[in-house]
Amino acid sequence: MRIGELSSWTGVSVATIKFYLREGLLPGGTPSGSNQADYSDVHVRRLRLIRILTQIGGLSLRRVAEVLRSLNDASAAYRALGPEVEEDPGEDFARALDDTNRFVDEDLGWRVHEDAPGRRALARALAALRQTDGEVNVSVLRPYARAADWLATEEAPSPHERAGADRAERTIARTVVYESALMALRRLAHEHRAATDR
Amino acid sequence: MRIGELSSWTGVSVATIKFYLREGLLPGGTPSGSNQADYSDVHVRRLRLIRILTQIGGLSLRRVAEVLRSLNDASAAYRALGPEVEEDPGEDFARALDDTNRFVDEDLGWRVHEDAPGRRALARALAALRQTDGEVNVSVLRPYARAADWLATEEAPSPHERAGADRAERTIARTVVYESALMALRRLAHEHRAATDR
């Protein structure tokens, strides 16, 4: 398809598509005649993934580019996905990070990169919890780990989905989209409980 | 305690505390002598909540002010908490919103405000999912709703926690903190699965 058709098919403006092409977020089309190029499903899928990462995942284009560059290395792609935790995450962070690392590596036995940003995000949450609720054992996170692991299994690509970039794209897209759905449902569940518990 | 002690106790700078006092995010202290005021646990707790909402929840100060103003009305506080969904959330949003509203109100039977922002966030997620994975029934969200509801119960204040502003503060803080913990664990679980499924 032409760039105009790609635009109307995906709802992304031609100017934005051209910008993504220049920035290398989108692979070039197949040249077809003078100054024209042919675009395919690859481009449609890639544009949808970019939209999911920016609009639903809230990622900057710099981070999107990192995720896209890492699609053939899942661990790197998840590292690029964040979440970002600022440099000075507050008091008692170092101790919380020790506790959460032990929890992830030993208690859960999960194989994740030592620089996985989720580790820092988890430690920041535990430190904040300890400030609000007093001394909290890291094991309070166990039900959350169980829920996270269970849902990750539900989201895993089915065995007959073909491998390759397409599959990695879907996995990342699902992670971000289901995450936002889960967050939305959590907010609604809390509001519902607050309304009925009175 | 004096403003300087409040600052070192919470790690929030005196300048920031004064800014929050001016903006009404923090109630004034009890006047004690000329040009001085006494601050208490109320202020410590409030400063921690503000930090959780901004640093972990990513809320703007305008949204923080809204949340704080709504602490005695849980439904309003959750509305203020977001998440914000932009005005034009993409194709097929209206149909997804109908589907998710029916899901929340009828299937789940949750009592939530018709303007609860979680409804729009959920619809945006469903619409994105349908673009990635083809026609997806809203019931695919059921395990997420179950997990969200179960975790909301875990986070509910225990019956012997005293009522009032303090309790509402803790509930909101926990919602935000556990949410970030759950997100972090999801990312880690996905990375773990990607590493072990190969």
- From chain A, the residues in CB contact with B116 under 8 A are 187-188, 191
In contact, A42 and A1? CB cutoff 8 Å: no
Helix intervals (H) in A86-163: 93-102, 117-133, 142-155
Token representation of residue B26: 């923090």
Give the integer Cα–Cα distance in Å for B8 and B118: 37
Mutate to test the interface with A, among B59, B144, B174 (most CBs of A within 10 A): B144
Mutate to test the interface with B, among A191, A197, A198 (most CBs of B within 10 A): A191
Is pLDDT of B198 > 70? Answer: no
Q: Is B111 left (phi over 0), alpha (psi -120 to 50) or beta?
A: beta
- From chain B, the residues in CB contact with A197 under 8 A are 156
Q: Chain A: residue nearest B187 by CA?
A: A118
- ipTM passes above 0.85: yes
Average pLDDT over residues A40-44: 93
Distance from CA of B92 to the nearest CA of A (A): 11
Contact A177 B56 (CB under 8 A): no
Is pLDDT of B147 > 70? Answer: yes
pLDDT at A154: 81
Contact B112 A188 (CB under 8 A): yes
pLDDT at A165: 60
Token representation of residue A117: 């940003």
- From chain A, the residues in CB contact with B41 under 8 A are none
Which one has a higher pLDDT value, B196 or B40?
Answer: B40
Residue B91 confidence class, pLDDT cut points 50, 70, 90: low
For A168-190, the pLDDT digits (tens) are 888 889 999 999 999 999 999 99
Is pLDDT of B128 > 80? Answer: yes
Q: B58: Cβ–Cβ under 8 A, 6 or more apart, which residues?
A: none
- From chain B, the residues in CB contact with A141 under 8 A are 181, 185
For A109-141, the pLDDT digits (tens) are 999 999 999 999 999 999 999 988 888 899 999
Is pLDDT of A162 > 90? Answer: no
- Measured over the CA atoms of residue B121, residue B63, residue B76 and residue B162, the dihedral's sign is positive
Ordered DSSP codes for A2-56: -HHHHHHHHT--HHHHHHHHHHTSS---EE-STT-EE--HHHHHHHHHHHIIIII
In this structure, of A17-21, A91-95, B94-98, the range with the lowest mean pLDDT score is A91-95
Q: A182: Cβ–Cβ under 8 A, 6 or more apart, which residues?
A: A151, B144, B147, B148, B182, B186
Contact B185 A143 (CB under 8 A): no
In contact, A183 and B179? CB cutoff 8 Å: yes
Distance from CA of B184 to the nearest CA of A (A): 4
Residue A67 confidence class, pLDDT cut points 50, 70, 90: very high
Is pLDDT of A198 > 60? Answer: no
In contact, B74 and A194? CB cutoff 8 Å: yes
Q: Chain A: residue nearest B149 by CA?
A: A189
Q: Among all chains, which residue has been given the structure tokens 């065995």?
A: A159
pLDDT at B27: 93
- From chain A, the residues in CB contact with B119 under 8 A are 184, 188
Put simply, whether B102 touches A (Cβ < 8 Å) is no
Query: Hey, which of A6-20, A146-160, B65-79 has the most confident mean pLDDT?
Result: A6-20
Using DSSP's 3-state secondary structure scheme, residue B38 falls into: strand
Mutate to test the interface with B, among A47, A154, A183 (most CBs of B within 10 A): A183
Which one has a higher pLDDT value, B42 or B89?
Answer: B42
Give the integer Cα–Cα distance in Å for B190 and A167: 14
Mutate to test the interface with B, among A190, A193, A197, A198 (most CBs of B within 10 A): A190
| Residue in A118, A151, A185 nearest the CB of B118 | A185
Distance from CA of B94 to the nearest CA of A (A): 16
Is pLDDT of A86 > 80? Answer: no
Contact A195 B89 (CB under 8 A): no
